[in-house]
Structure 1
């Protein structure tokens, strides 16, 4: 599915530049619905895998087009807060999925137990995804197309109508003039070659910054917590029920941290949040690695932490989750949606989004290998090094975008 996400992200940006942000989101919603129904109805492994890959296309497309759409319709003073809501929605969606799966499995006695219409509970777990997918699809029918896309395609009357709804009729024409000025002399059909500097032929620095932001967000290991959380805590001696409770705690802290980001991102800016998050993650990940380095082995060869080390690992890991979700979690998506010039936004998002999902895949696949090769201490040590490098990256390469209109972004 993660590879499907990378493919979906790569092609979605280019398609959105041709057919529109709203159109791509509608197609993504249809793919979400198709994936949910198909995975639940699967009668063979190839059928199930195919449905999940289709779902991956939808996730990848929505992950980059949604923040781009939010950035393009939101006034500059609200843009960071509105884009941060996406991260809250992601975490809230994960929580709802976990809760739904738990309730269905409990009602059936097990995920392989029988529920309504004599179908296994695990099938209903996938079919339940059709509800939010249908709601998403229905909601998209009532939102306007991005005015910046309309201006890019010379559909000025439609752009003015949308801008009038967003900014008021009195400001619509002036806003369109600003957008058109940013596109003047370069209003051709967007293409990947736009990412190259015309004078040197090299990839524009702003594109490398976007790729760096997308990659570092995954290199700090956050999805190890999401994908392997319960397994990880059981590996160091916590019971299954305790491990699940820790995951619930992490989820609650994640939502709280995102609310902090909503409050701060348009006040202090994106760069200070990223920098603070990088420093906090470096320290907390190093403490987690130190706690796991102190682990011993029981008779069965399983890791066992002392009481003090267990408390340190638990607290430091959750502090790490808080720092991530108040900084890199939402701020990376905010910046990718707003940092690129209008002409190259879709293509840049395609490349950065694909890099993000490929990094996600690499971290997810490599973690079991790291676990058996260098252990939890070594794995978390590597993530701490990545977080430390991100401190330098933010300081040296990232430029603040708070309060700037999208037409002020240059590449």
Structure 2
């Protein structure tokens, strides 16, 4: 039975050959490799931190700069990627991002000090930021409306798989060498191999981008309508010519979008741009990266050893992968808004419970909370349920919405602003958690719970359902 492109445009649905779903899946997987590198590049440094501090006799703040420089680069890369994608195309932007990942992996693996490592990490961050913009925009623009949510969710799946593979790779390399500080294959120190391990997926990403079609929305915007028509025949079938006309009406082919195109409304930017910015920032303000960056604090407080805490972190990343698969299965059936609402409710309850448990827990002589018995088990369950609720809702659905919610003529540029805000929020949450921890974990998780409550209000009040809608109707 062929797939049917069933969209609310008033025209008769067009049958799609069965082979097209597989074709779109392959194209989307190539684009989502940027998401894999996004997760991999930001996480691979975790296994190298101890070895870097020992080899370079680094102070805490210099080491912190090396770790966080990727986040700074990501914000810059995200801000720049929209203009580059609108000027040179989505696939060329992927190739540029691939080059940045390759340079970063090589430079980081060959680093002779933490100062030049920080530069190479910043270069990788530029690639991460670019990938975080171009992948959701491209997938939204190339996918049929009835598959768009599932295919766009591949971005988040690729991110969490990238995180898992980086952690697993670091563990395997360190175990093979005996330590991240020990010599590995060919006498090269193990931590250098951890950075080099990013080379194969970075090269594959660039090669893949050479063989996938350009976005038809970009092609129409550049006046290359015959090329767009060829791509759209695989998506729209016989209605491709009328789709070209629709796209032409929604873009201005003689004008490359600039920041001035985003201005409007009472608060300086178009309302839809503000909604995208707040949506992206809330994804971070609910504290998800605290669970992944600082999870050992939680698990050791519950009573687990450092080794077991690392194992639990890996298990948590697997949980995140599995729940993202749930989102892929239901985002085009249930819709984007219901998933966000359910996720917000679950996150608010679980984070609120964690805030209560840590806020009322007794402390040891060093001031750390101690959870014993039922309280420790409850916190462990609550933290994993929190990851579950985030994993099928705000994790993947935010990227789906950011890729499709903006009008054609400003999509890439508006998405770049929202993605930059997301990276700034990521940096802010990650940088402030140690200070909040000093005040008390109860306060920290209480703030994230408050953000989850606000995310519920925001989703109900400001998010419009986009399931099954054509991009030209946004």
If the TM-score is normalised by the length of the shorter chain, which range does it land in?
A: over 0.9
Paired position in structure 2 for 1:192: 259
Counterparts of 2:267 and 2:248, CA distance in 1:
26
Paired position in structure 1 for 2:234: 165
Q: What per-residue deviation string (whole Å, max 9, x for no partner) do you get for residues 64-97 of structure 1? A: 1100000000001000000111111111111111
Paired position in structure 1 for 2:464: 399
Paired position in structure 2 for 1:16: 85
Farther-moved stretch of structure 1 (66-75 vs 236-245) = 236-245
Indicate yes or no: 2:242 matched with 1:177. no
Farther-moved stretch of structure 1 (398-407 vs 186-195) = 186-195
User: Of 34, 37, 41, which aligns to 2:103?
Assistant: 34
1:155-304 equivalences in 2 (<5 Å): 155-168=224-237, 170-183=238-251, 187-197=254-264, 202-304=268-370
Paired position in structure 1 for 2:397: 331
Give unmatched runs, 5+ long, in structure 2.
Answer: 1-69
Counterparts of 2:257 and 2:366, CA distance in 1:
59
1:107-186 equivalences in 2 (<5 Å): 107-168=176-237, 170-183=238-251
Aligned pair count reads 405
Counterparts of 1:130 and 1:230, CA distance in 2:
29
Task: List, as ranges, runs of 4+ consecutive aligned residues in structure 1 with deviation greater than 4 Å.
Answer: none
Paired position in structure 2 for 1:48: 117
1:347-358 equivalences in 2 (<5 Å): 347-358=413-424
User: Of 442, 451, 455, which aligns to 1:377?
Assistant: 442
Tell me by how many angstroms 1:336 deviates. Answer: 0.4
Asked whether the 8 Å contact 1:187–1:343 carries over to 2, the reply is no
Q: What per-residue deviation string (whole Å, max 9, x for no partner) do you get for residues 291-319 of structure 1? A: 21232223454331111111111001111
Tell me by how many angstroms 1:200 deviates. Answer: 6.7
Counterparts of 2:293 and 2:267, CA distance in 1:
40
User: Of 357, 373, 377, which aligns to 1:307?
Assistant: 373
Q: What per-residue deviation string (whole Å, max 9, x for no partner) do you get for residues 359-407 of structure 1? A: 000000000010012x111100000000001111111111111111000
TM value normalised by structure 1: 0.96
Asked whether the 8 Å contact 1:234–1:243 carries over to 2, the reply is yes
Tell me by how many angstroms 1:241 deviates. Answer: 2.3
Counterparts of 1:284 and 1:311, CA distance in 2:
13
Tell me by how many angstroms 1:167 deviates. Answer: 3.3
3-state DSSP class of the match of 1:297? coil
TM value normalised by structure 2: 0.83
Asked whether the 8 Å contact 2:145–2:469 carries over to 1, the reply is yes
Indicate yes or no: 2:141 matched with 1:72. yes
User: Of 353, 361, 366, which aligns to 2:427?
Assistant: 361
Give unmatched runs, 5+ long, in structure 1.
Answer: none
Paired position in structure 2 for 1:388: 453
Counterparts of 1:89 and 1:200, CA distance in 2:
37
Tell me by how many angstroms 1:187 deviates. Answer: 4.7
3-state DSSP class of the match of 1:303? coil
Kindly indicate whether structure 1 or structure 2 has the higher relative contact order, using CA contacts under 8 Å at least 6 residues apart. Answer: 1
